[in-house]
Amino acid sequence: MTARILNGATIRDAIYAELQAEIESLRAAGVRPGLAAVLIGDDAGSHIYVKNKIAACEKLGLHSERISPPPTITTEELLRQVDQLNRRDDIDGILVQLPLPPHVDSKKILEAVDPAKDVDGFHPENLGRLVSNRPGMVACTPAGCMEILRRSAIEVAGANAVVVGRSDIVGKPMALLLMHANATVTICHSKTKSLAEVVHRGDIVVAAIGRAGMLTADYIRPGATVIDVGMNQVTDPGVAGRLFASHPERLARFREKGSALVGDVHPGVADVAGALTPVPGGVGLLTIAMLMVNTVKAARLRRGASAGHTPAAAGAARR
């Protein structure tokens, strides 16, 4: 068996095509959605993420700004900057790129963002709305995973779904979205006993534990759908050799570049699963796509514009 690859680029492009119609309707009503990205420090991954988010805004014709305070900024100073963004009418969405410097209180900053502009879906009010299955901003990565399942015709209702990872920004909201879609959900984590046995029960497995290639083929029930959220940079030749032992072309690329981006799912899972998201080219593309959906939705709801819902925006609003 070779898994069907759930191509993130194809799904992203379909969402963007639908979203473009709503953006044009908003602009006809005099509204250009705006996104502000707050980026502090020199974390390479954060800079890449923000660059890709800004590029997506430009592609869709959204207004975007990158706010880059000095690394020495205090919690109080950053709170004042967030308050200024909350007050600006031309900014519909605010994202604070994590991680923040250790001396900054991340929770205080995230809670200071206006829930109506919280396009990351991290504010407690939006998390509470998700728990009670009421419309609100939903965290982009879990929302993107649900779009992959929906647009790939993967049956969620009645399925046994296993989420590996319990973070506030992926694991927990992912479990809630699957539950609201009528799956029977199990959440696993580092303390779960007999982890492989529990994961093996899943018709749908979402891997979001942050460990390169941790879920090997013996974790996966034959024919299961596997959504790989992991984004791990591997630089150790020994680790690469173990991961790519049966994939000489990937091992050759690793040796050429000195690094490789891999998910939480071992490449060997492709021989067992029925469907699988690739890394790269899978969930990461949908995370950015759903950020765009949330920004447009925030603009529509905040401005009271009369543009109709696109399928992508409507789907995100329901969750």
Find the helix or strand (DSSP H, E) in which 248 lies. Answer: helix 248-257
Beta partners for 275?
4, 225
Rounded to an integer, what distance in angstroms lies between the CA atom of residue 202 and that of residue 220?
Answer: 8
CATH entry 3.40.50.2300 includes domain 140-284: no
| Among 88, 92, 94, CA closest to 26 | 92
- pLDDT for residue 140: 97
Q: How many helices (H) and strands (E) does the chain have?
A: 12, 11
- pLDDT for residue 42: 86
Rounded to an integer, what distance in angstroms lies between the CA atom of residue 315 and that of residue 176?
Answer: 15
Beta partners for 184?
160
pLDDT at 319 over 50: no
Three-state SS at 36: strand
> Does the annotation mark 97 as catalytic?
yes
Q: What is the mean pLDDT of residues 229-252?
A: 93
Q: What is the mean pLDDT of residues 141-148?
A: 98
- pLDDT for residue 278: 96
Q: What is the mean pLDDT of residues 59-84?
A: 97
Higher pLDDT, 318 or 30: 30
Q: Which of 97, 114, 172, 297 is catalytic?
A: 97
Structure tokens that stand for 77 in this block: 């100073």
Rounded to an integer, what distance in angstroms lies between the CA atom of residue 11 and that of residue 145?
Answer: 11
- pLDDT for residue 281: 95
pLDDT at 257 over 90: yes
Please name the residues in contact with 31: beta carbons below 8 A apart, sequence gap of 6 or more. Answer: 299, 300, 303, 305
**What is the 3 state secondary structure string of 38-77?**
ECCCCCHHHHHHHHHHHHHHHHHCCEEEEECCCCCCCHHH
The residue whose two tokens read 């705006």 is 34
> Does the annotation mark 228 as catalytic?
no
- pLDDT for residue 316: 45
Domain with CATH 3.40.50.720 in the chain: 140-284
Q: What is the mean pLDDT of residues 82-95?
A: 97
Three-state SS at 292: helix
| Among 233, 226, 210, CA closest to 268 | 226
Q: Which of 92, 118, 120, 228 is catalytic?
A: 120
Three-state SS at 94: strand
- On average, the pLDDT of the chain sits at 93
CB 240 within 8 A of CB 260: yes
pLDDT at 310 over 50: no
pLDDT digits (tens, 9 = 90+) for 203-215: 999 999 999 999 9
CB 226 within 8 A of CB 265: yes
- What is the dihedral angle through the alpha carbons of 210, 2, 199, 123, rounded to the nearest 10 degrees? 40
The DSSP letter of residue 137 is: -
Give the predicted TM-score (pTM) of the model: 0.92
In order of 53, 123, 235, the CA distances from 261 in angstroms are: 19, 30, 9
Rounded to an integer, what distance in angstroms lies between the CA atom of residue 198 and that of residue 295?
Answer: 37
pLDDT at 69 over 80: yes
Rounded to an integer, what distance in angstroms lies between the CA atom of residue 98 and that of residue 109?
Answer: 11
Task: Indicate the pLDDT class of residue 311, thresholds 50, 70 and 90.
Answer: very low
- pLDDT for residue 307: 44
Domain with CATH 3.40.50.10860 in the chain: 30-120
pLDDT > 70: percent of the chain: 95
Q: Which of 53, 117, 172, 297 is catalytic?
A: 53
Q: What is the mean pLDDT of residues 224-229?
A: 98
CATH entry 3.30.460.20 includes domain 30-120: no
